[in-house]
Amino acid sequence: MQSLAGEAVVTDETTAFYRDALRALNDAGEAVLVGGSHALVYYTGVARHTKDFDIFCRRADVERVLAVLDGIGARTELPYPHWLGKAHRDEALIDVIYCSGNGVAEVDDLWFRHAPGTLVLGVPARLCPPEEMIWSKGFIMERERFDGGDVAHLLLAQAHRLDWQRLVERFGRHWRALYAHLVLFGFVYPSERSRIPDAVMDELAARLAEEQAAGDAARPVTYGPLLSRAQYLIDVESGTYEDGRHDPDIFMTPADIDIWTRVIADEVRPYARSEGDDPHRRGR
């Protein structure tokens, strides 16, 4: 196993908390993966400062994982029951993640089956696979946070190693989000376009052509909330479009959506509509 070079710089106290957490989880036999900046630097060499430490686990294991962290003096909570727990010790924070915030990318056995082993802060650990990192990061397109740069760097560094079939299958019916990142990759790195297999681009291009030929979908739904919990609220709150997060294959309940929406600060809500104005229907 190799150690991670260029890990994010944090205080000694914070580093000690992260190490204590990994050791305690190892000793307890809990299956967890490390993601975030530590996994990103392992796969891409891109290092950055971070305010927290990301641990991934299966949904069924989160209560036990939080109990282990509670046992090393952390204050634990489950603020967003559909995807995220937290553990605090002094100023240090660990996020315990078992799904993506949009309810799409749930942690399952495949995450662990393809997870490489390494040393994180000198402690044996396993990392989130790059395919699953692209899958979960590929939907993060908020005004205040866009993970497209991470996706592009993962593609740049790992394209030749990726299990492309699994990656395409991960996105499933949301394949357009993946295709968008692959098209942007060729814009960001025009001299590296060949890193994306022709077969993948051809398959997704054929899907696009087929959908375009079929015309508009009959159902008035927006999947914008899978990309940004704030920027498409105007579409669903006006009643113009159904919220795609209510689809049965999304791991969010109406209560989860309500909790996830209520914490959005007013200054992050980017749009307001005048009463009676529905620009979405203009010209139809």
Please report, for the domain that includes residue 60, its CATH number: 3.30.460.40
| Residue 15 backbone dihedrals phi, psi, to 5 degrees | -60, -40
Same-domain pairing of 121 and 16: yes
Whether the CB-CB separation of 35 and 55 falls below 8 Å is answered with: yes
Residue 180: band (very low, low, confident or very high) from pLDDT cuts 50, 70, 90: very high
What is residue 67's predicted lDDT score, i.e. its pLDDT?
A: 98
DSSP state of 115: P
Q: What is the pLDDT of residue 2?
A: 43
Predicted confidence at residue 217, as pLDDT, reads 95
Cβ–Cβ under 8 Å, residues 143 and 149: no
Same domain, yes or no: 38 and 109 = yes
In a domain, 54, yes or no: yes
List the beta bridge partners of residue 118: 125
In a domain, residue 80? The reply is yes
Based on the structure, what is the number of domains in the chain? 3
**19 and 60 within one domain:** yes
List of residues 6+ apart from 199 with CB closer than 8 A? 164
Average pLDDT over residues 110-114: 98
Closest CA to 40 of 129, 146, 100: 129
Let me know if residue 79 belongs to a domain: yes
Q: CA–CA separation, 255 vs 236, rounded Å? A: 16
Residue where one domain finishes, among candidates 214, 233, 256: 214
Q: What is the pLDDT of residue 12?
A: 87
Q: Quick one: average pLDDT of 188-214?
A: 98
* CA atoms of 106 and 97, how far apart (whole Å): 9
pLDDT tens digits for range 67-86: 999 999 999 999 999 999 99
Among 46-55, 183-192, 269-278, the range scoring the smallest mean pLDDT is 269-278
Q: How would you class 199 by CB atoms within 10 Å of its CB: exposed for 0-12, middle for 13-18, buried for 19 or more?
A: exposed
* Inside any domain, residue 138: no
Backbone angles phi, psi at 243, to 5 degrees: -85, 115
Pairing of strands 221-222, 117-120: unpaired
121 lies in the same domain as 17: yes
121 and 75 co-located in one domain: yes
The pLDDT of residue 5 is 44
Instruction: Dig out the tokens for 1 from the structure.
Output: 């196993």
Arithmetic mean of pLDDT over the chain: 92
Give the confidence band of 267 by pLDDT, cuts at 50, 70, 90: low
DSSP state of 127: B
Q: Does residue 46 sit within a domain? A: yes
Q: Are 258 and 232 contained in the same domain?
A: yes
Residue 221: helix, strand or coil by DSSP?
A: strand
The answer to whether residue 7 sits within a structural domain is no
State the burial class of residue 151 (Cβ atoms within 10 Å of its Cβ: 0-12, 13-18, 19+): buried
Based on the fold, state whether residues 230 and 176 are members of the same structural domain.
no
Say if residue 103 is in the same domain as residue 45: yes
Does one domain contain both 173 and 192?
yes
Domain range for 182 is 147-214
Domain end position, chosen among 183, 198, 214? 214
pLDDT computed for residue 7 by the predictor: 46
Same domain, 29 and 96: yes
The reported pLDDT for the residue numbered 51 is 79
